[in-house]
């Protein structure tokens, strides 16, 4: 899945210790220029939307994703 992530999104994810799937979801959902704010201080609605989209992007065998210090577990 993550093979097609652009370099800038990979760098965004790497510097924030965040899964590429989460970073891709943030870049898809945030208004241009609002990605850092969404990463650091998402609303509850944004958090749910990013997590849902990140799981859609994740490989089927992935059970956890990382959003900085937070671990997201695949919904059952």
Per-10-residue mean pLDDT of the chain, 76 residues long, equals 75 96 97 96 98 96 96 93
Q: pTM for the full model?
A: 0.92
Instruction: Considering only the C-alpha atoms of the chain, give the largest distance between any 2 of them, rounded to a whole number of Å.
Output: 33
In contact, 8 and 32? CB cutoff 8 Å: no
Instruction: Please give the share of the chain, as a percent, with pLDDT higher than 70.
Output: 95
Q: For the chain, first and last CA: distance in Å?
A: 21
- When divided into structural domains, the chain yields a total of 1
Integer angstrom CA distances of residue 72 from 14, 15, 22, 65: 17, 18, 10, 5
Range of the domain at 42: 2-73
* pLDDT of the residue at 5: 73
23-38 pLDDT per residue, tens: 999 999 999 999 999 9
CA dihedral 56, 49, 46, 70 (to 10 degrees): -50
């Amino acid at each position: 899945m993550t093979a097609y992530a652009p370099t800038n999104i990979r760098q965004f994810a790497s510097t924030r210790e965040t899964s590429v799937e989460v970073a891709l979801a943030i870049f898809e959902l945030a208004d241009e220029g609002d990605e850092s704010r969404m990463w650091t201080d998402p609303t509850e609605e944004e958090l749910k939307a990013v997590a849902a989209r990140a799981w859609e992007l994740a490989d089927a065998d992935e059970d956890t994703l990382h959003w900085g210090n937070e671990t997201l577990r695949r919904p059952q």
